[in-house]
């Protein structure tokens, strides 16, 4: 049994006319198996409808909780008012908890500087092993026990909604602590039940090539523009605030191809660059800044350093995406290519050279990539006898969580219901939140004939 988290601070404020928000800070162990090894501070925001007059904190109703598990790994939550689906959840009678997962947002943030406090690269790697989904859900259980202490015993379970990597965490939750859950909503986040990342990236690269085809079919003029931009970056050392703008970093813009509006966002950057080169012969500051803003790995280094480890159960990742890219000549950047292919949601060794923050943790990343001692994240036997209602939105065109792998996982979770669509992409919870939430709650309320 996971011990309850310690609530060490709580402050309230209102979003005028809409929301009552509490900012919460908890103490939890870094390592639940060795609680004396130190603590982490977890930050969260809870949100409920703003009532007039506002009820005092002690008189607040004991509403059921819905916990949002953010995508990533490594991404913190935004303020509650920026999530379009929150109103729907509040209308359904929930209060919502936005928890910054350990190491993200304001929860004992992981950066090169904060990691250095742990000591050398070996000690940093050992520390980071505590930041996967297994401990994220232990944190959730600890916080649940804290926040529901005064609830009637039969009302202490809570609901979860996981987006992308948050869905991976949700399935880990179903595996390890199903007794804490009332229900689980999963959005584009049914994880591949694999032991290592190679089978994942083999399918992901297939989908990335499809999205490259879609991009160049929509913007055929960008074939030459991208090649010209890549050649310019080969010939010129272009610095940005986070490091160096390399040809490979241009390729990495393909991560946007899996989002609603992603093709147009990349085209806009390519067009800006082409316009600069046509008029001035170099990239202007606004253009360079725009390219830099699409990285984000320096501000979310867990994403880079643990991205492949989220698939590992008893295997090392051994730089899976990098190996598979090198083995596929289509992704080469050379003069013989008819077009430059963009990559997707992958992490490559060269990122630990072109990003200043990642360069500082390169040795730590190498250690983690060679580590095979990753514990199990999923319990197939428990999932096969699952009794927690599961409602999953699965996207046929998902570039990050392959539809075939997600469907196999759904079939292994007893009782899981799926909303399957080919008209939504991975970020539908943000881009089409009303439609998506309507479909998920229709699954829950059994209103689909």
- Give the 3-state secondary structure of the chain: CCCCCEEEEEEEEEECCCEEEEEEEEEEECCCCCHHHCEEEEEEEEEEECCCCCCCHHHCCCCCEEEEECCCCCCCCCCHHHCCCHHHHHHCCCEEEEECCCCCCCCCCCCHHHHHCCCCHHHHHHHHCCCCHHHHHHHHHHHHHHHCCCCCHHHCCEEEEEECHHHHHHHHHHHHCHHHEEEEEEECCCCCCCCCCHHHHHHHHHHHHHHHHHHHHHCCCHHHHHHHHHHHHHHCCCEECCEECCHHHHHHHHHHHHCCCHHHHHHHHHHHHHHHHHHCCCCCHHHHHHHHHCCCCCCCHHHHHHCCHHHCCCCCCCCHHHHHHHCCHHHCCCCCCCCCCCCCCCCCCCHHHHEHHHHCCHHHHHHHHHCCCCCCCCCHHHHHCCCCCEEEEEECCCCCCCHHHHHHHHHHCCCCEEEEECCCCCCHHHHCHHHHHHHHHHHHHCCCC
Residue 89 above 90 pLDDT?
Answer: yes
Sorting pLDDT into bands at 50, 70 and 90, what band is 446?
A: confident
Residue 449 above 70 pLDDT?
Answer: no
What are the structural domains of the chain?
Answer: 6-193+378-445 (3.40.50.1820), 197-370 (no CATH)
pLDDT for 21-79, tens place per residue? 999 999 999 999 999 999 999 999 999 999 765 555 555 689 999 999 999 999 999 99
Query: Do the Cβ atoms of 214 and 341 come closer than 8 Å?
Result: no
pLDDT of residue 30: 98
pLDDT for 398-433, tens place per residue? 999 999 999 999 999 999 999 999 999 999 999 999
Mean pLDDT of 334-356: 92
Buried b (16+ CB within 10 A) or exposed e, 104-143: bbebbbbbbeebeebeebeebbbbbbbbbbbbbbbbbbbb
Token couple for 313: 């159960």
pLDDT for 266-316, tens place per residue? 999 999 999 999 999 999 999 999 999 987 788 899 999 999 999 999 999
Query: Active-site positions?
Result: 164, 398, 426
pLDDT of residue 295: 75
pLDDT of residue 294: 86
pLDDT of residue 1: 74
pLDDT of residue 59: 56
pLDDT of residue 52: 63
pLDDT of residue 134: 98
Q: Which of 268, 388, 252 is CA-nearest to residue 307?
A: 252
What is the share, in percent, of the chain residues with pLDDT greater than 70? 97
């Amino acid at each position: 049994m996971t011990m309850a988290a310690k609530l060490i601070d709580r402050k309230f404020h209102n979003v005028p006319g809409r929301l009552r928000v509490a900012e919460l800070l908890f103490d939890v162990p870094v390592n639940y198996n060795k609680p004396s090894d130190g603590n982490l501070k977890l930050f969260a925001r809870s949100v409920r409808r703003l009532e007039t007059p506002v009820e005092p904190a002690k008189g607040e109703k004991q509403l059921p909780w819905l916990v949002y598990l953010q995508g990533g790994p490594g991404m913190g939550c935004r303020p509650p008012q920026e999530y379009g689906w929150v109103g729907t959840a509040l209308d359904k009678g929930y209060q919502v908890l936005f928890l910054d997962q350990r190491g993200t947002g304001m929860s004992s943030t992981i950066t090169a500087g904060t990691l250095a406090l742990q000591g050398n690269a070996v000690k940093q790697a050992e520390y980071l092993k505590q930041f996967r989904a297994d401990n994220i859900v232990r944190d959730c259980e600890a916080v649940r026990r804290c926040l529901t202490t005064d609830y009637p015993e039969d009302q202490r379970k809570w609901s979860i909604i996981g987006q992308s990597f948050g869905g991976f965490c949700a399935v880990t939750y179903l595996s390890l602590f199903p007794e804490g859950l009332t229900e689980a909503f999963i959005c584009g986040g049914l994880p591949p039940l694999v032991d290592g990342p190679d089978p994942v990236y083999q399918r992901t690269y297939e989908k990335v090539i499809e999205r490259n085809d879609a991009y160049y079919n929509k913007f055929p003029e960008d074939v030459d523009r991208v090649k010209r931009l890549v050649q310019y970056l080969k010939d010129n050392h272009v610095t940005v605030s986070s490091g160096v703008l390399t040809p490979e970093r241009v390729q990495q813009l393909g991560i946007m191809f899996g989002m609603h509006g992603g093709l147009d966002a990349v085209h806009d950057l390519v067009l800006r660059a082409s316009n600069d080169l046509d008029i001035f012969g170099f990239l202007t500051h606004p253009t360079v800044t725009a390219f830099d803003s699409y990285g984000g790995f320096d501000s979310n280094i867990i994403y880079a350093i643990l991205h492949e480890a989220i698939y590992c159960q008893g295997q090392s990742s051994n730089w899976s995406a990098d190996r598979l890219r090198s083995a596929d000549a289509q992704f080469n950047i050379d003069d013989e290519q008819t077009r430059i292919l963009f990559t997707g949601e992958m992490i490559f060794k060269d990122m630990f050279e072109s990003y200043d923050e990642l360069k500082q943790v390169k040795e730590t990343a190498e250690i983690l990539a060679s580590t095979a001692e990753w514990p199990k994240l999923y319990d197939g036997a428990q999932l096969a006898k699952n009794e927690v209602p599961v409602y999953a939105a699965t996207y046929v065109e998902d570039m990050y969580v392959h539809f075939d792998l997600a469907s196999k996982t759904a079939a292994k979770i007893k009782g899981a219901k799926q909303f399957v669509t080919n008209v939504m992409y991975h970020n539908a919870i943000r881009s089409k939140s009303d439609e998506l939430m309507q479909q998920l709650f229709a699954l829950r309320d059994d209103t689909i004939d």
